[in-house]
Every structure is written in C-alpha cells, then in structure tokens.
Structure 1
C-alpha cells in the first residue's frame, strides 16, 4: 500500500514571510485542500474524530467502513467492489476490548479464529475453511517455518480487513479461502494524542500511548508514534504473556505530487505463549475420564523448561508520485526480521490423562524477508467507459533458518494431579534447516465503469522458487530440495449498482499456493490451485450502514494425502486430494442513530473432502470447521439526560458443532458465548473532564467451560471469562 493525501484543513497563513516561505505555505495549503486521490494506501490521515471524508486506509469514525483498498489495491467504495470484504475498524477494536488480531475478527462472517484457546502463540485465522495468509499494508507477512510467526499488536493498527475468497491475482501465492490485510496507523494532518491504562483478570497490567500530528507549521512533515505493553497471566497455571511494542512513522510531503512515509515497528514478546494441547476425542475434557475432568488450569509442560521468546523488527516505506491527475506510481517496501526461541515439553498421543507420556522439543528460528510492490495506476475514458488500470510488479525474498532439537521421552504427568519440577537433560540437536523463498509476480487489473455497471478484470503471472537444505545430525548428511513453480491466475467480476444502494454482483477468481516437500520418487509437489464462483448482493442505504450477502463455490486441488503404497514407506504423501467449500455469508453493520450501533453476521459452511486416496477421509468434513456460526453485537450510548455519556453493549457468539477427527467419528459440541461492556465519557460531567473515558469489557461473561477445537492428536479448551477495565485520555 502506498501514500496518498486526504483532505485536511488549510495550513496556517504566515504574514510578511519570505517568498520561499510563502511558496511553502501555499504549497502546504494546496496539499491539505486536495481531495484524496485513488491509491493503494493513505499514509496521511486526518486523525480520529475529525469528521473528514473517509479514505480506504485512514481512520473510520465508528464501526462502519465504506471504503477499502484490500480488494483492488486502490481506494474504492466497498459497495462498488464485487467481492466480499469485511472491515474491522479501530473504533470497533477499542469498543470490544480486543487484545489480538484473531480476537478482532470474532464478529466477522466466514471466519474461524482463536481455535487454540488460551494458546495464543499464533494469530491463525481461517476463512471459508482454509487458513488465511496475513498481510501488513498489503505486503505479505511470510510464515513458512514452524514457530517463527509474526504476531502484530492490534493497538498499532487502523483497521483489520478480511478479503473473502482467492486473491492471487493481486497478492500472488495465497490461501484459497482469502487473506487478512492489516492496515497500520499513519501520521495525521491534525494533532491526535491518546493514552490508556488497563487492568483486569489474571493480573493484567497494560498501557499505551498514540501520538500524532504535524512537525512543522506547513505540515510538510508529519509524525506518529504508537507504543504499548502488557504483562498478564492466563487461565492456565504457570503461564504468562508479556509484550512491548513501539511503532514510529514519519511522512514527508515535499510537494503537491509526492508523498513518502516511513513505517517501522519493534516488538518484543519475552513470554509469547505456550503449547497446551490435551487428549484426543475429548477424553477428560468433553467426556469425563473415570468420572473426572481435566481442569482448564492444567499445564501439560514443565514451567522451568518451556519458553516462547519472540522478537520482531520491521522497517519500510511507502512512496507515491503523481505525474498528473490520471497517472501515478507507487513503491512499497518492507524489511522484516523475526526470531523465536521456543522450547516445550508436550504430551504424546495418549488416551490416559493420569499417565500422559511426554516429549521435549526445541527450536531456534529466524525469518528475514524483504517485500517490494511497484505499481502504476492510470485513469482514462474510452468512449462511455471509465477505466482505472493498475499494473504492478512485486517481489518477495524470505529466508528461514531453524535449529531443531528433540527428546522422545520425558517423565509422564498426571493431568488430574500434576507435579512439576522433573529434570530434563540437554536436548540434542536433530537437524538444521535452511529454507529460502523467492517470488516474482507481474499483474494487471482494470476497473471499468459504464453507467451503473462496474466490471473488474485481473490477470497475473507468478514465478516462485524455493530451496530447502536439511542437515541431519544423526547421519551427518544434508538433503537439498530445490523447487520452482509458475502460475497464471485470473479474476473477472461484474456488479450493477442501483440508485437505491443495492448492488448485486458475480465473480470468478483463482488462487495458487506452493506446497513444500517431495513425493516418494523425489519429485517436488505441485502448487495447490483454487477456483471460486461467487454471487452476492451489497446494500448501502446511507454512509453509516452496509449489508452484504455472499454465496460461493470454492474448490482446492492438489491437496496432500497419505501415500497408500506400502513399498514407499511410512509418512510419504501424494497429491490426490481435493476439498470443496460451499457456503453463504451474511454481514450487517449499521449505526441506526446517534445512540444505537448494531453488528450481525451468519455463516453457513459446507466444506468437504471430495477426492482422497484414504477412504476414511473421502466425503468427510475437515476438522475444526463448523457448518453454522453466527454473532451479534449492539451498543447503546446515551446522549443527554441523567445518563448522558453512559453506554452499554452486549454480544453473542455461536459456533456450531465441529468435526473432531479427520474420519468424523467424533464431534466437538456447539457453544454459545456472551460478551458485555459498560463505558462512560466523563466529558458529560463538564469541560474539565473532556477527553477522559472509562470502559469495562467482559468476554464469556458466564464463564462457560468448553472445548474450542479437537483434531486427531488432541483438543484445546476455549477461553474462560476475561474482564478488562480501561481508563483512556485523549487530547
């Protein structure tokens, strides 16, 4: 995503200044007055609560976004974009007390998140039944290792956007289910200052600041710094989360046509999570074991040995230059350095909670990557047709280095009466893996408008190369696995926008995703491919309401399945699998009036294995994905009267039963969870309290104990009740 300028107020007028200063001031006023041009990012925002025209990349006052840059890499109205896109704004993140990206999408359709419960080492999000790739400012956050996973602090984000369905035409190799695009906070034209402090369940101590505005009077230089941190326990004994994050950014606007924004982040998570998978088939969790149930506080590892220590550093820039009103070029670059030091004692696949045999595993892993996305955007008319053409070339280089160690046997533990403190000797190194990835893509997109019709056409060619070198210490040998893939992906969509705000659309789109590994014969696996047909209707009756319904048919080919030839040995795989995902997604976001805001969603998901060489999987549903899920959230805030400034909100989340094994012989029961919040704006008490507010958020308010996920090797408990109180000051 790249920088553009949004509408702002006039720069201050300087009396009797030098000619150069007068020209600089005039230039600044011209920039501030300019309307936001279409582009792939907005590095300059106007600040929260300014009431300025919304851009696709800036702040949204409230929870209803009407523009997005994720679906087209241009600043486009959601109702004009023929694809299902869900936007979670920063105001929604604050209102719901969100603590992670996976929590931010709780109330979005077509999405499954928080599947590992209290184990929050990863922000895995599933869209339409497939794990989604994550992007930051439309540049990929590479994750192809094991435990080095880039987790982004939500306080640093302006919005979280979910693009439903294959998106390879604009983004290259990606999941067929869709992607999550995280939009960073950018420097603002108007001063904005905020600080907060939170406390709550499990000894939470948390705070942060967000400072932004112009550096000079002419608003040629703008800055923003967000910083936050927390220290909190969890529902599981002997576990804790700690984080410190700082994200400074700077925008330079040397003239009316050029904008450069530098974005950076440093995030340190010395305690970034833990592994706490329990027994398969719900033994001791869903079904009591000999009359006893494993407590949700049970920790299966060893406190003196286990750790997840993560450090993330990123720096990059977004540069845009307009050659004319109809031609502009952008370059977006980011370098990332991510390291994780992980050690865990975890249960083996056992069925007796009183004698859980365990093993130990360690890894020291580092991922370094650089992303570059170059774009040229031009607008022109050809007769009655209005064209917005985007052409781009992007490149990703990433290197993953990991040193692994393992102990197959560690003293067992009794989950019903755990005793910790066993001695674990040095964990011997088993292998050293070096993996590199290079992806080069060329893409073109044309948005065509004719009267009420809007067409979207896209085409892309990708070259992806990877190499994996694995040194096995037991044998002293190194296995080298080079791999090269090419792919051409397409997208075509058509939308008709009625004057009433109703916009039906149809879409066809494709994806590809390289697959690591080789067959028994040593041949590299082909990429998985995906194709989707989608129909939908969007309805935007006003600027504060957006309703969407989408129905789709999605197929993924070349899925890995077990190699059933006994002469090939154990653990070999072949690409004979196919998964079909069909569903319906409904989403409603509306600010009914000044007092009442309502969100609602419903998802019907029918994903099934349509091809497999394993009879127990054919015709079965993948684990963890519910066929039905729904959510609703409402907030009512009083304006005037005795309760002026007071507000309350409530939410309900329903997750239907999910398959707990690949053979679908066991199901995890459905669950309904309730959330609530109270908030108060102290400015209702008088001018001296302006800017002060307080809120209390509670999730799973009835403290329901439930299992969120089971798979063949184990199950996870869901999150228990969590209460967070926050005091905030804005000035």
Structure 2
C-alpha cells in the first residue's frame, strides 16, 4: 500500500514508506500491516479512494459496498485550495449547502435532509441539533479527506437524519519524515499560514508525531465582517506490526462577526423578492455588536487497534469535544406595525427604506463525548462462505447549556443612507441591563433564561455480517439496538431498533450492482408538547439501488444510485419566538432521486470529479396545528434543487524541471423555494472557478479564482417554515475572489 504525503511532488522515482496510519479513522477495525516499501514512478494526484470505512466499518472496497459513498480526497482539497468545508462538499452529488446557520456553523443537507445532527470527525459526532450554535467553523488545514455516507446510518452511528453522515478524517502521524509550510493571501484581505510536520520521534522506529497549525486573519465582501482563527493539532502514534495507538488534541480559537446574510423586499401578501434597493455587500447586523462573537473548541481523542490473531481484530476509540461560544447576534425582523410583514420599509411609507434589526446574545457551551469498542472477525464457515462480522458497543453523551438574551427594542437601519439608530417609538425599558453599542445605538438586554439546558446519553449495540457466497454474490445484514436517555429528565427513555440489509452482485471484477434497505431514527431528545408529554421520535426508511463501474484499469469510478426515503413524525416548534418552546409531531416527508458521480483520472495527467443529482422532495402528510399553513401536503423542501451539477478537472503538463497544472470547475443548480410555503423562489445559478499551479522540486505556487463570472445568486436557510422568516435569512453568493499561495516542503 502506498500512502502519499498530501503535497509530495518528486520529479523522479522515489521509494516511499507506507503505513496504514493515513487510513485510520474511528471506524477502522483492522490492525496495521507491517511497513512495506513500494516504488512509485513520479507523483500522481488522485481524486479517488478505493475504500471508505465510514460506510460499514469493514475492510471493503467501495465497489463491494452496498451503499453510495463519496470521498473528497486531499488532492482535490489542494487543487481547489479549500479553506472551508462549504467549498469541499459542493463536490458531492446529493449534498446541498444551505445559508450559514445560527452561530456561523456549517449547514448542509444530504438527499434533502438537514445533516446538522450527523457531522463527525474521525468517526465521533461533533455536532447535534442542540449544541450546533456553540461550535466554531471547521478548520480544513488538518483534514486529510472527507467521507460522505448516504442514506440512513443508524446501524453504525445511531440517531441522525436519513440523508446520511459527513465524516471529517484528520491527518495522521507517519514514520516517514515530512514537513510543509504554506502562505496564502487573497481577496477581502484574506491572509493565512499553514504548517504541517510529521515523522519518527528521534530514533524510535515505531513512534511518530504530527503537528498541524494554522493562523487566519480575514475580512469579507460584506461590510463589518471579519474572522481571526487559530488551529493547533498535535498527535502521537505508536505503529507496530499488529498494534496501532494514537492520541491527539485539537484546539480551535475562532473570533468572528456573526453574519446572518441578506434580506428580501416585498411583503407577505404580494410576495418577497430581491430588489434593486438591496446589495449583497450590505451587512444587515448591528455594527460593533456582532463582531464580538468568540468560540473555542477543544477535542481530545484516542484510538487503539490490535490484531489478536489471523481472524480477530479489536479496536477502541474515545473522543471528547468541548465547545464554548459567546454569540453576539442580530438579524432583521418584520417591521413592527406593518400589517403585511415587510422586512424592508415600503417606498413612500412612514418606514420607507427602514429595516428593523433585533439584537440578541447567547452564552453557551456544549460537550460531545463518545466511547466505542469494536470486535471484527474474518473467517470462512463450514459451507465455504466468507464472513466479515462486526460487533460493537458505543456510548455517546451530548450536553449543552446555553443562556439567551434579547434586546428590548429593535435597531433601525436605513438602506438608502446607511444610518443605524434606535427606534424612537420604543425607549429602553427601565431596570434592564443597558447596552450602549455607540452614540446612536442603545438597547436593554432581557434575560430569557436557559434557552437550552440538556444532557442526553445514547448507548448502542450493533452487529453486522458481510457474507461472500462466491465471487459474484455478497450479502450484508445487520441491526442496532439503541437506548436514548435524558439525564435531566428521568421520565424520558427512548429505545430503538434499526436494521440494514443489502446485496451486491459482481458479474465482473470491475462492475457491481447493489440494492439495500436501511432504517434510521432521530430521537425526540426530551422535546415536549404544551401538555408536558414527550413527543415521538422521527423514524425513516430508505430503499436504494445502484451500480458501480471501474474503468481505465480502475483509474475511474462511476457510481449511479436510485433512492427513495420516507420520514415520519416530523418534529416542529408549535410556538416559535416564545421563551419556553413546545413541539409536536407533524406529518411525513419523502425524498427520492438519482445520483451520478464520476471520480478519478482519465490519464495520469488528467483527473476529474463530477456529479449530477436529481432530487424530488415532497411533504406527503401535512400538519394539523399551528404549522398547517406552511407544512402543506404536496409542497417541496426549501433550498433543495430538483437538479444540481458539479464538475472539477485538472490537467498537468511537464514544463522545464517542474509541472504546470491547469484546471477549473462548474457548479450549478436549478431553482429552489425559500421556505416550506413554496411561494418565494430563488433563481437557478451557475458558478465557474479557475485554478493553476506550478510545482518544481520542493516549491509550489498556486492561484485559484472562484466565481470568475461574478454570478449573483441566493441561498436559503435549512427547513425554514415561512416566507416572512426566510425574508430575513438570505444567503448570497460570494463575488469573484482570488486566492494565491506559495508552499515549501522539507
């Protein structure tokens, strides 16, 4: 096996030591093979991985796996000069980027379903619906690759949305000495430095270290918006022939401006739209207030794997992520006294050109802890069938404690003059904590009490068996029992059994067909209705069929999948905006579609990553209470396009003693609805990127231009219920931007 350094560029034949360290993640269950020496002719970048153990936790190639799995490799991350996971995941068919959500965290959907509960790092959950706002944005410098498993994943991961999971795999120590430093600069005063070094510890042949560190200081195309971020990630590993042990610490300090995006003109009767009165560079928050947002994240993680004998492997993993965040927030709300719920004051009215911005603040911390123990057996039975059996126990605890504050009055902003000022109709309430942002802005803060104070624990036992009957047929069968408890409410205890099964038919070595059935659930997490009763968990069922075809001597992998997902007992807030929220289970939804991905390289110099997605989402059972007007049977999910397309390709040309790489990409999607009401639509869009680099010996210079045509388009927030709420939560495209970098390896 050859494990490449992510920036290694030798112009001649080299000998590379390879260990399986770089393929470790929290689902890995096989011990490390002995170090072997492999000769590699030149450097070859690749967008394709043969395995993704996030899928089943077994030692299977992608072509053998009865599920759709996508992998974003380090080479693709480097070619696109990715600085945020938004830009990385746009390369995956079936994944949709929403507008940045509450607190600045990343928000995505997979196959139409919000994936905010299903974001993992090295196989351990780092995000969930309750502590999402406490998490700083993800730093990409220490990410080796990103794996996306599509469809319900309760078998391995427990509760979560049925679209799938996103797993960030971080870089691992390796014995071979390697180091790099890269300096980046670009549009909007973007500046960043990244350092990465790994190798053996002194003369100890089996001990290795790795340290990744970054510093970023940047602004934005939007006024008032900035970010300053630090990452430090040291790791140590013992790499033996039968045993692998790793420990690491990841620390992120993130200071930024909370940016809620843009607004829409119009009203709730005539409809909402993006008008000439607006521009995407305008910041619709309170200056000198939102920019005080701070977040810290500390993740401590460890894993150990041991090959007991020829058929039995054991593995242990532990991860604890602590997040602390003080979020200074403000965002537009419907104008008080306007019966039509306008967000921008109608022209010629008493509130002409005015936008009301509501100040808020939250102080919260979240803690995600996971322990997992896994046994894997590989053997042949007495009937000549080959088995890979995985049995594991997982304990996961998710807690969060967040207190919220709200201003007693809105701050008014005039989009014509650019002025901010207090609303003269609502003076500060006597006795409240008074906040003076500047000479023109003063308001009182109301303590709304504990917005979230919850502690949940989930324990799961799962077993699965992948049976090879012969060279053509294989069968997967597995189930998981989960017990979900609310540690702050002894009366809440939610049990679930989920199963998964699938069959793989391989008529030829490079061609396979598969079909699968999988179940998922999302626990009710202690949510209660207005009568104090716990609501039901959400459950889901997915049926999927697909084909995987390797071409050009396994250089290129084509994956096509058809799927149909049903989800029932959807949980919704029935009294939005109130200090104490109540919930109810309302209706059911369906998502069905087709995905096509082409990944790999056509020649040794020409690599490609492409995908097409057709997604048909529908509310199949409407609501019956306060949400009946928006959760309407037959309506589509907001923000989810019927059609989306991505293509990125690079071609490398030897020039002189180095190599010139030229590439670019096209990313496109069709119209989307802004909310569940399905009245306001955002137009289709196409973004074009270009890139080039020149590498010679240990040096590399690179230039990336994003959105070269300066396309303007809008993005919605995930699963917004009403147009009036969507009108104050609008994401906008980033204008044409340039990033240049110089990297040196040692």
Q: Structures share a fold, TM > 0.5?
A: yes
Hey, what does 2:712 align to over in structure 1? 705
Q: Within 5 Å, which residues of 2 pair with 1:53-452?
A: 61-116=45-100, 121-132=104-115, 133-143=118-128, 144-145=130-131, 147-253=133-239, 255-271=240-256, 273-279=258-264, 287=273, 289=275, 292-306=276-290, 307-349=292-334, 350-353=342-345, 354-382=353-381, 383-420=383-420, 421=438, 422-432=440-450, 433-451=452-470, 452=472
Where structure 1 has 5 or more consecutive residues not aligned to the other structure, the ranges are 1-5, 10-29, 54-58, 469-479, 684-689
Cα distance 1:342–1:41, how it changes in 2: closer, same or farther (>3 A)?
Answer: farther
Cα distance 1:372–1:481, how it changes in 2: closer, same or farther (>3 A)?
Answer: closer
**1:608 corresponds to 2:618:** yes
Cα distance 1:502–1:406, how it changes in 2: closer, same or farther (>3 A)?
Answer: same
Choose which of 601, 608, 620 in structure 2 pairs with 1:598: 608
What's the offset of the Cα at 1:146? 5.3
Indicate the larger mover: 145-154 or 582-591: 145-154
Choose which of 639, 647, 650 in structure 2 pairs with 1:624: 639
Distance 1:42 1:270 in 2: 40
What's the offset of the Cα at 1:639? 2.1
With normalisation by structure 1, the TM-score equals 0.86
Contact 1:88–1:160 (CA under 8 A) maintained in structure 2: yes
Corresponding residue SS for 1:448: strand
Hey, what does 1:461 align to over in structure 2? 481
Hey, what does 1:636 align to over in structure 2? 651
What's the offset of the Cα at 1:694? 0.7
Distance 1:245 1:727 in 2: 20
With normalisation by structure 2, the TM-score equals 0.85
Distance 1:112 1:288 in 2: 22
Hey, what does 1:477 align to over in structure 2? none
Hey, what does 1:501 align to over in structure 2? 510
Q: What RMSD over aligned residues (CA atoms) do the two structures have, in Å? A: 3.1
Output one character per residue of 1:18-67: Cα deviation in whole Å (capped at 9) or x when no partner.
xxxxxxxxxxxx997999999716898999x98789xxxxx995211111
**1:580 corresponds to 2:563:** no
**1:648 corresponds to 2:667:** no
Contact 1:396–1:440 (CA under 8 A) maintained in structure 2: yes
Cα distance 1:400–1:32, how it changes in 2: closer, same or farther (>3 A)?
Answer: closer
Contact 1:135–1:179 (CA under 8 A) maintained in structure 2: yes
Contact 2:32–2:243 (CA under 8 A) maintained in structure 1: no
Cα distance 1:634–1:588, how it changes in 2: closer, same or farther (>3 A)?
Answer: same
Cα distance 1:505–1:440, how it changes in 2: closer, same or farther (>3 A)?
Answer: same
Corresponding residue SS for 1:93: helix
Choose which of 656, 673, 679 in structure 2 pairs with 1:659: 673
Cα distance 1:410–1:562, how it changes in 2: closer, same or farther (>3 A)?
Answer: closer
Cα distance 1:396–1:563, how it changes in 2: closer, same or farther (>3 A)?
Answer: closer
How many residue pairs get aligned? The number is 674
Corresponding residue SS for 1:103: helix
Q: Within 5 Å, which residues of 2 pair with 1:686-725?
A: 690-709=697-716, 711=720, 712=723, 713=725, 714=727, 715-725=730-740
Distance 1:326 1:52 in 2: 31
Distance 2:121 2:94 in 1: 21
Indicate the larger mover: 300-309 or 649-658: 300-309
Cα distance 1:239–1:570, how it changes in 2: closer, same or farther (>3 A)?
Answer: closer
Contact 1:493–1:505 (CA under 8 A) maintained in structure 2: yes
Hey, what does 1:548 align to over in structure 2? 559
Contact 1:561–1:612 (CA under 8 A) maintained in structure 2: no
Contact 2:356–2:410 (CA under 8 A) maintained in structure 1: yes
Contact 2:690–2:708 (CA under 8 A) maintained in structure 1: yes
Distance 2:229 2:296 in 1: 10
Distance 1:639 1:8 in 2: 23
Cα distance 1:691–1:562, how it changes in 2: closer, same or farther (>3 A)?
Answer: closer
Contact 1:447–1:454 (CA under 8 A) maintained in structure 2: yes
What's the offset of the Cα at 1:393? 0.3
Cα distance 1:34–1:557, how it changes in 2: closer, same or farther (>3 A)?
Answer: closer
What's the offset of the Cα at 1:8? 8.5
Contact 1:45–1:189 (CA under 8 A) maintained in structure 2: no
